[in-house]
Chain A
Amino acid sequence: TQLLEQSPQFLSIQEGENLTVYCNSSSVFSSLQWYRQEPGEGPVLLVTVVTGGEVKKLKRLTFQFGDARKDSSLHITAAQPGDTGLYLCAGARSGNTPLVFGKGTRLSVIA
């Protein structure tokens, strides 16, 4: 059972378009993290959201944590080729337990 459902799995868009990636679960998380990974490299932490309903912005990226802390979304405005990569959401549960990862969204932005 995949505890974190991430969608879409693949996304190919033109430069300048907007997109949203979703991360959903039936479980409550104490926090949720978004990572971006490029081929041959480790994931890089983009943001951590902790409070239900929280919205964080990182330049053209907007992250939202659901009110019930079960879901999250990543919205990219005016996507650029440099945004291409694998986006991973990961939920943290209480205690010193490993993060639960979604399957990832592979984004390709075409110039």
Chain B
Amino acid sequence: GAVVSQHPSWVICKSGTSVKIECRSLDFQATTMFWYRQFPKQSLMLMATSNEGSKATYEQGVEKDKFLINHASLTLSTLTVTSAHPEDSSFYICSARDRDRGDEQFFGPGTRLTVL
């Protein structure tokens, strides 16, 4: 149990386009999902916390108009990188908190975004 999927697993896009990444909890309901960004050989950097049915809470320094987050249901959150630039290239990972399992977070496999 506690499986989280992400789609796509990798994407290459041109500068200026928008990219949507989906995060789904497959076998549990996630009232809260988190979006992270990870640079090579570094730890996870929290971008935002997403609660089902409400606006996401963004970490300091993360542009909410650039990284749009929607958490429309208890099993799906999306991250849209708008007007992507090469510096947005990174590994994006989501995680979901199972409301029946307390503090534990379960991570998706990540999405590798490359902006040309």
Contact = CB atoms under 8 A, between A and B. Distances in A.
Given A33-B105, A41-B110, A48-B104, A98 B34 contact: yes
A35 B42 CA distance: 14
| Number of chain B interface residues as a range | 20 to 34
Contact of B42 (A31, A40, A48, A103): A103
Interface residues of A, number: 23
A104 B109 CA distance: 18
Interface of B is mostly: strand
Interface string B92-110: 0101010000111111111
Contact of B107 (A31, A43, A104, A106): A43
A45 B73 CA distance: 24
Contact of A42 (B43, B103, B107): B107
Nearest to A92: B103
A1 interface: no
A99 B105 contact: yes
Interface string A37-78: 000111111001000000000000000000000000000000
Interface of B: 2, 4, 6, 31-32, 34, 41-44, 46, 49, 51, 91, 93, 95, 97, 102-110, 112
6 contacts: A30-B103, A43-B93, A45-B104, A96-B31, A99-B34, A99-B105
Interface of A: 30-31, 33, 35, 40-45, 48, 86, 88, 90, 92, 96, 98-99, 101-104, 106
